Structure 1
Amino acid sequence: MSISRWLKVFAACFVVCIGAFAQQQKVIIDTDIGDDIDDAFAVSLVLSSPELKILGVTSAWGDTELRSRMLDRLLCEAGRSDIPVTTGVKTASKTTFSQEAWAKAGETHTHADAVDFLLGQIRKNPGEITLIAIAPLTNIGAAIDRDPVTFKKLKRVVMMGGSIRRGYDEFGVVGTAPRPADAEYNIAMAPEAAQKLIQSGVPIYMMPLDSTQLKFDEVKRGMLTTVSTPLTDSLQVLTAEWQRATHQATPTMFDVMAAAYAIKPELCPATPLHIDVDDEGFTREGPGTANVNVCLNSDSDQFFQFLMPRLLEQKLHGASSCVVK
């Protein structure tokens, strides 16, 4: 092939690559990783999705510094230590930090303030950032208090939270009548912050209990053992730590649906509804102008057909060592 032909091929590839890069969606993840296991899977899905450009990850709720340390290690294992991790508002929490041992084995780093980081990124990228919110909304409430005008310049918030027509499915038995709506954890831990978000004017896409109780059953856990990458190995260890700490076997992929929606919204079609948040953390559907786009139903088979290849075929390569020596 002549040099001129090579140059034309290179130029065409360059244009395609630049076009794909330009189409990446800018995201920030706000997570309480370390308690339930679904946060680790949600972050892993985002890391495995080239459609997303991750501007940073913010830790939320409870021991936020330890959560940041866990995020540092997970990003290191995935070969993405270039992604900033910042520490959010520390709170009291009665929830067990089930993956504490794995988190504490990671190296210690200094972290900036999550609320400052979030607002700063919005100022740099007005109207461009999707905030994937998969934690109690304390960081978000603090950001709104500090600078509501800047916060309103988010492109949208995609969140796991709420319970509209279905509560927690304790046993996961197919065909049984759903429980009535509950005060879902992410909302109930900080209802005031959720109220502020609802009133902020930012477009909200809510993945409530109605559509997120997707079971990572034994077959799927077995699939995860068929490959060995730094990320899949980490997920297996973290799942085992969660199982030991909680005495549960089957994780529920609550938060993963929010991450999946940010990438492929047809997995969880959203309906515009008027939602109010009461002081106990209930998300009440009622009359009035729609203020939230809510996914009330999802297809479990389609969700896992999307998720599993992303986890099993990801091209991430971790660093040689991500633990304290």
Structure 2
Amino acid sequence: MNFNSSWRLSIACLTALALPAYGVSQTASNTALRTSKPELVIFDTDIGDDIDDVFALGLALSSPEFRIVGITSAWGDTALRSRMIDRVLCETGRSDIPVLTGVATHRKDAAEFSQAPWAKAGLRHKAHGSDDAVAFILDQARLHPGEITLIAVAPLTNIGAAIDRDPAAFRKLKRVVLMGGSVLRGYDADNAPGVATKPMAEYNIAMDPPAAQKLFQSGVPIYMMPLDSTQIAFDSQRSAEFATISTPLTDAMEVLTAEWSHVTKRTAPTLFDPVAVAYAIDSATCPTTPEHIEVDSKGYTHVSEGSPNAQACLKAQPEAFFSLVMPRLTQQRMTGTKVCVAE
């Protein structure tokens, strides 16, 4: 059986599976729960560099509003990222979710893979072919036209490659929920957290501006969570609350946060990427306004004249965000059933 046939068969089988019981307390309105069935989601991530991808994936796995049809690794050492995703899924008992490896890249100015030790310790229990992610995104768009939400929290290389390969199939996506860009606000000043700076080239856009340009010109509905709304700190109060919980997911997140902190010399995570996941669950966590966004060659995202091509959330809503996120991360009870670490 070839690759396309094998994972199409696996997806068909997964469609028939019931959602697992998450034990999540519902404390916020949940847009997707009002529909008759869960949202079909592909999660595209550069997990392993900054710690926020782990929080974002944990939130997605803890949310019954989603049926995650696949997770795609993006940017840099995508093979090791896939191995890290495999281990997260093994630890949480979600190895039913396909993991697809994206386009590998090599840039000297890319972020460091801070959580590589944890990723490398995972079992080599799955084989991932190179460039699987691009084919997977397009195939799922064709299989489920108008139904797939692509949550993109990484540089957009996989997305650009998918558009190049089959723009018509890519337009069959329901929407792209993106963490990326900087509209009115840049990264907070390092020596003064919470003090906004002028707009700048945000990492996910700046690493591959041509791919971002293709996305904003694709015609697919885009919901954009830029730096303006995503610089939400995982403060000491929430960190202390989180530390009182011990599940396979929270234990893994604690270790990964420590690895990230050791490499980056930072102590308080900024939860950029989970804002995009929270929005996909409940749009009230980050209300948007229509904008026409242009991406320049350096990765700046400018508002310009023209018909809106994106809905952008331009103001953080920390209370709404945490009221949705914290119960899900602290009250889930996902657990794996097998050894997930190499001897």
User: TM-score, normalized by length of structure 1?
Assistant: 0.92
2:218 equivalent in structure 1: 200
> Does structure 2 retain, via aligned residues, the 8 Å contact 1:140–1:197?
yes
Give the corresponding residue for 2:155.
136
Find out whether 1:119 has 2:138 as its counterpart.
yes
Give SS of 2:40's match: strand
Q: How far 1:169 sits from its partner (Å)?
A: 0.3
2:119 to 97, 100, 103: 103
Aligned partner (choices 290, 305, 311) of residue 287 of structure 1: 305
Answer whether contact 1:66 1:104 (CA < 8 A) is retained.
yes
Per-residue CA deviations over 1:226-268 (Å, capped at 9, x if unaligned) read 1110000000000000000000001100000000000011100
The partner residue of 2:206 within 185, 188, 192 is 188
SS at match of 1:74: helix
The alignment covers a number of residue pairs equal to 308
- Which sections of structure 1, spanning at least 5 residues, go unmatched? 1-13
Q: Distance in 2 between matches of 1:175 and 1:192?
A: 30
Q: Which residue is 1:86 aligned to? A: 100
Deviation of 1:152 after TM superposition, in Å, equals 0.3
Q: Could you tell me how far apart the structure 1 residues matched to 2:309 and 2:139 are? A: 26
Percent identity over the alignment is 59
Residue type matched to 1:217 in 2? D
Bigger radius of gyration, 1 or 2?
1
- From 334, 340, 343, the counterpart of 1:316: 334
Distance in 1, Cα, partners of 2:193 & 2:166: 45
1:41 aligns with 2:55: yes
Residue 210 (str. 1) matches residue 210 (str. 2): no
TM-score (norm 2): 0.87
Kept in 2, the 8 Å contact 1:269–1:298? The answer is no
State the shift of 1:171 in Å.
3.9
Contact 1:77 1:230 in 2 (8 A): yes
For residues 244 and 339 of structure 2, the distance between their equivalents in structure 1, rounded to whole angstroms, comes to: 23
CA shift for structure 1 position 172: 7.9
Map residues 267-286 of structure 1 onto 2, 5 A cutoff.
267-286=285-304
Report deviation, 1:286. Answer: 1.2
The range that moved more, 165-174 or 293-302, is: 165-174
1:102 partner letter: W
3-state SS, counterpart of residue 56 of structure 1? strand
**Distance in structure 1 (CA, Å) of the matches to 2:333 and 2:127:** 28
Q: Distance in 2 between matches of 1:295 and 1:321?
A: 41
Match of 1:67 in 2: 81
Q: What does the per-residue CA deviation read over 1:171-230, in whole Å, with 9 as the maximum and x for residues that have no partner?
A: 485774x21101000000000000000011100000000000000112211111111100
- SS of residue matched to 2:232: coil
- Give the aligned residue type for 2:326: M
Aligned residue for 1:227? 245
1:3-59: CA deviation from partner (whole Å, max 9, x where unpaired): xxxxxxxxxxx9xx9x98942000000000000000000000000000100000000
Structure 2 residue 177 is the aligned partner of structure 1 residue 158: yes
**Aligned counterparts, 1:18-33, within 5 A:** 22-33=36-47
Which whole-Å CA distance do the structure 2 matches of 1:44 and 1:200 have between them? 29
Secondary structure at 2:325 match in 1:
helix
1:54 alignment partner, one of 68, 77, 80: 68
Looking at structure 2, the residues matched to 78 and 279 of structure 1 have their Cα atoms a distance apart, in angstroms, of 40
Partner SS for 1:83: coil
